Amino acid sequence: MLVKVISKIPFAVMTGFAFLLFGITFMYWNFKPDVNFLLTKQGLVDHPIWRPAFYVHIFGGMLAIVLGPLNFIKYIRRKNLNLHRVLGKTYVASILFIAAPTGLYMAFYANGGILSSLGFILMSILWFYTTFMAVNTIRKKQVNEHVKWMVRSYAMTFAAVTLRLWVPFLSIVVEMEHLKVIILTAWISWFFNLIAAELLLKLKLTSLQP
């Protein structure tokens, strides 16, 4: 019994961080131009494309970050497959049609210059690709492969959380220069997530939720 409870802790922590970020992101929906991240983009807050793209991006990202964990819960998959399908379709749509394309657009305006932009561009492409492959495999009834690609997809989605964990760690604990933090986190926020996902797959812990 204790082992079973302990085995659920990583999933619970991941889900907790996901919902925490979901709640924090609501701060942007007052549509004020001087809120948190937007303070660093004052040259773009009046841009006719960038600012709408930002709101579209966080809308899609908010959906993906909270729906992702629900797709890994065995109870939902086993007891209500239709609900699982609705959650899954909403999750992939929020990425393929909303968050990933707008993320790719915004990557060209990333703080930190070309090196940061390249990190976020690659992130957006991989986010789209892993999610697309999750859809493609389930359409072919390749359930095991579908689960694997969903793990990779959510690893990319969860970069929104790990980015916000790496920034204070590198800034406060490591005392790294601000520009270096911006550039480095554009890469490691998703790279190590993918490494962790592959380790989970290697260890055959693909369901995440026991």
79-122 pLDDT tens trace: 999 999 999 999 999 999 999 999 999 999 999 999 999 999 99
- Tell me the per-residue pLDDT of 24-49, one tens digit each, with 9 for 90 and over: 999 999 999 999 999 999 999 999 99
Residue 134 CA, distance from chain mean position: 15
pTM, to two decimals: 0.94
| 3-class secondary-structure state, position 181 | helix
Report the distance separating Cα 1 and Cα 22, nearest Å: 31
The mean pLDDT value of the chain amounts to 94
Report the distance separating Cα 195 and Cα 192, nearest Å: 5
Average pLDDT, integer, range 164-190: 97
Given a contact cutoff of 8 angstroms between Cβ atoms, the answer to whether 112 and 179 are in contact is yes
Phi, psi for residue 87 in degrees, rounded to 5: -60, -40
* Identity at 43, one-letter amino acid code: G
Report the distance separating Cα 200 and Cα 210, nearest Å: 13
